[in-house]
């Protein structure tokens, strides 16, 4: 049995005792030099294990990075598939928007539709807007015409939204 009173006292942090006890049991004849040599050997062995683990981690991270680059390359291809993927598009590579030319401006189209219709609803105006091949909705145009006083809005409980009619100012000015 080892005499504990003869062993040199080493200050160790809590929890490190188990690390040092893993090695060979210290014989009563071994001195502080042999203990130190054994501890150095164990530290070197631990260092080797950690170096191997770091190499394995680097390999895994390298594979993940390659997979992410391949995924990014697939999603940045131009065309409809790239647009549907939701990937951000470089504005310089985005196709230029082609504006359509219509016979009537948006405001003129809405006023003409209201003049020919019988107090159409917002939904009917927007349906006509789309039937003409226009994108979006006519709501901003309606708001602008209302603000200028060219249209009047009437609440109709039988339909969702409002009905529109030309104001007396717009009706008289157009003829």
What is the domain extent for residue 141?
106-174
Number of domains in the chain: 2
Could you tell me if residue 144 is inside a domain? yes
DSSP state of 166: E
Name the average pLDDT for the chain.
78
**Residue 112, domain CATH:** 1.10.10.10
Give tens-digit pLDDT for 28-50.
Answer: 556 778 889 999 999 999 999 99
| 111 and 150 Cβ atoms separated by less than 8 Å | yes
Could you tell me if residue 85 is inside a domain? no
Q: Compute the distance between CA of residue 87 and CA of residue 89 in angstroms, rounded to an integer.
A: 6
Close Cβ partners of 110 (under 8 Å, ≥ 6 residues apart): 125, 129, 138, 141, 142, 145
Give tens-digit pLDDT for 6-20.
Answer: 444 444 455 555 555
Close Cβ partners of 114 (under 8 Å, ≥ 6 residues apart): 120, 125, 151, 164, 165, 166
Asked whether residue 119 falls in the same domain as residue 165, the answer is yes
| 168 and 151 Cβ atoms separated by less than 8 Å | no
Please give the pLDDT value at position 133.
86
Could you tell me if residue 1 is inside a domain? no
Could you tell me if residue 98 is inside a domain? no
Asked whether residue 63 falls in the same domain as residue 113, the answer is no
């Amino acid at each position: 049995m080892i005499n504990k009173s003869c062993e040199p006292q080493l200050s160790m942090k809590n929890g490190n005792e188990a690390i040092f006890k893993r090695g060979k049991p210290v014989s009563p004849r071994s001195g502080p030099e042999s203990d130190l040599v054994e501890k150095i050997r164990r530290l070197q062995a631990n260092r080797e294990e950690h170096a191997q683990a770091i190499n394995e981690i680097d390999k895994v991270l390298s594979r993940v990075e390659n997979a992410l680059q391949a995924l990014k390359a697939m999603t940045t291809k131009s065309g409809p598939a790239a647009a549907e993927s939701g990937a951000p598009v470089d504005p310089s590579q985005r196709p230029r928007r082609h504006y359509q030319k219509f016979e009537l401006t948006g405001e003129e189209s809405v006023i003409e539709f209201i003049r020919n219709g019988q107090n159409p609803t917002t939904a009917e105006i927007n349906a006509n807007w789309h039937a003409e091949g226009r994108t979006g909705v006519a709501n901003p145009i309606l708001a602008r015409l209302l603000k200028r006083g060219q249209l009047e809005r009437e609440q109709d409980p039988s339909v969702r939204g409002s009905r529109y009619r030309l104001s007396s100012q717009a009706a008289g000015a157009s003829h």
